[in-house]
Chains A and B, each alone.
Chain A
Amino acid sequence: MYAEQSALQCPSCGGMCYFSPVAQALECLSCGKVYNLDQPDDYLARDEFAHNKNVPDADPKSAPPQQTHQCRNCGGEVVFTGPALSENCPYCNGPVVLVPGDSGYKTMALIPFRVDAPFAKRLAQDWIDARICVPADLALTVEQGVVVGLYAPFWTFDSDEAVHYWANYVTYRNNKIRTRKTEGALDIMFDDLLMPASPHVTPLIRDGILHDFDPADLRPYRAGYLAGFAAEMHHQSVMEGLSANETDKDTLIRNHIKDEVNKTAVHGIRYLTDTTGIHYRRILLPVWILHYTYRAHAYRIVVSGIDGRTFGERPFSYRKMALFSAAVTACAMTVGMLLGAQAAF
């Protein structure tokens, strides 16, 4: 950690440097000098690692960080590198306390921030402005929110699935609806399937903002990229990562089966799968999180630090939703009453 901190000192003036998303380089807070972090062998960060289910994990553990901050609300553990030290948890905005560092697994690669804090905040405000049925004073509340940059832990998994499935579907012929059974086999190849590597990163965050993951953007893990941001380290073994994301994979496999059957009302899907060719990476992805509180309820809006894509949580205005509901009700009742009046004769 001392080595990491000294690597963040400006060689010219000794001041602290932080990673500038705009310059895509380390920038000195004192003299403003910029230092490029790119190296000729950066392409190695794209490498994937094979995993054998029958062999115990032999992944290298990282040295325990000296200053890990743990949130008193959600229990999230983050490491702050370099000059910017937030006093709040990036995940839930709760207070953080210093705890002894726990050794996790070595991060293999990361994608550096490309979107800076002011732009991320503007994107979050634009996202709220585009919502329907939000309380009228919400935009003002979001304006007062604070954005925190965080490197969130993710897995990328490759795997080949040999699936044998059984399913039911419905046919409609000669005015008869029939339920039919089918079974079959299909091969599914998952390539660079992004999976959250922390319980604090929800699948909704991933699917809301991380649409276009490109392994070519990966850079080797270096302290310089983390300077000025919080980061959560990897603590899951590969087996834990695979099992934590089984629900998502199950949803995707079922959808593949529905596409394969390609009939009306496919239901009652059962399947067996043989998973081979598992390859993985432990990576960190940049996320801006804006926290705001509306009527004593905490919400967050997340902005991708890669391309600025935004998604989040928001409150609903019950008055506006009631107006919408009343309009639909009025239409349905008008049509219904007219049909009823006709049927009376």
Chain B
Amino acid sequence: MILNASLLFSVVALFGLSTYVGLIPVHRMIRRREAQHELRAGSASYLRRMGGVVFVMIWVVTVLCLSTILGDWAVTGDLNAALERAGMRTAVMLEIAASNTGMR
């Protein structure tokens, strides 16, 4: 494990930024949970409030993906190589997604 100031700063920055951006999905999750328990099931307001899960998923997956770069960088100490591998992982995932959706 290689620790340096840039890596620590990146970890702290990602943590801070994600915590700040996360206020929106957390707010949405609470409202969704309250709607699930208290609004009449199947009513118009209930159906409208049940949406928005995608936004929560995007938040978590983005933080997860960025963290993989930081984990890689922490172990190898080479940010460029970590970014390259992350780029390759993304390309492979996009390739798989494209072939599955029949875009190619």
Q: For the complex, would chain B's binding face be called helix, strand, loop or mixed by DSSP majority? A: helix
What 1/0 mask marks residues of chain B from 66 to 97 whose CB sits below 8 Å from any chain A CB?
11111111111000001001100100000000
Q: Is B36 an interface residue, CB under 8 A from the partner?
A: no
Nearest A residue to B46 via CB reads A207
Q: For the complex, would chain A's binding face be called helix, strand, loop or mixed by DSSP majority? A: helix
How far is the CB of B62 from the nearest CB of chain A, in Å?
9
Nearest A residue to B41 via CB reads A211
Q: Is B3 an interface residue, CB under 8 A from the partner?
A: no
Q: Is A298 an interface residue, CB under 8 A from the partner?
A: no
B residues less than 8 Å from A207 (CB atoms): 39-40, 43-46
Interchain CB contact under 8 A, B45 and A329:
no
Q: Is A58 an interface residue, CB under 8 A from the partner?
A: no
**A321 to B34 Cα, complex, angstroms:** 15
**A203 to B89 Cα, complex, angstroms:** 46
Interchain CB contact under 8 A, B74 and A341:
yes
Q: Is A297 an interface residue, CB under 8 A from the partner?
A: no
B residues less than 8 Å from A332 (CB atoms): 18, 60, 63-64, 67
Interchain CB contact under 8 A, A340 and B30:
no
Looking at the complex, which one of B15, B101, B102 makes contact with A330 (CB distance below 8 Å)? B15
Which positions 299-345 of chain A face chain B at CB distance < 8 Å? 311, 316, 318, 321-322, 324-326, 328-330, 332-345
**A330 to B67 Cα, complex, angstroms:** 10
Q: Is A296 an interface residue, CB under 8 A from the partner?
A: no
Chain A interface category by residue count: 35 or more
Q: Is A248 an interface residue, CB under 8 A from the partner?
A: yes
A residues less than 8 Å from B22 (CB atoms): 324-326, 328-329
How far is the CB of B22 from the nearest CB of chain A, in Å?
3
How far is the CB of A214 from the nearest CB of chain B, in Å?
14
Interchain CB contact under 8 A, A340 and B82:
yes
Chain B interface category by residue count: 35 or more
Which positions 5-54 of chain B face chain A at CB distance < 8 Å? 11, 14-15, 18-20, 22-23, 25-27, 30, 34, 38-40, 42-48
- A positions within 8 Å CB-CB of B: 131-133, 172, 175-178, 203-204, 206-208, 210-211, 247-249, 251-252, 255, 311, 316, 318, 321-322, 324-326, 328-330, 332-345
Pairs of residues from A and B, 7 with the lowest C-beta to C-beta distance, nearest first: A336-B67, A340-B71, A325-B22, A337-B71, A340-B68, A207-B45, A207-B43
10 contacts between A and B (CB under 8 A): A175-B99, A177-B100, A252-B44, A325-B26, A336-B66, A336-B70, A337-B74, A339-B67, A340-B75, A343-B89
Taking A206-B43, A206-B45, A339-B68 as given, write out 15 further A-B residue pairs in contact, using a Cβ cutoff of 8 Å, ordered by the A residue number: A207-B40, A207-B46, A316-B30, A324-B22, A325-B18, A326-B22, A328-B26, A329-B63, A333-B63, A333-B64, A336-B66, A339-B71, A340-B73, A344-B76, A344-B82
- B positions within 8 Å CB-CB of A: 11, 14-15, 18-20, 22-23, 25-27, 30, 34, 38-40, 42-48, 60, 63-76, 82, 85-86, 89, 99-102
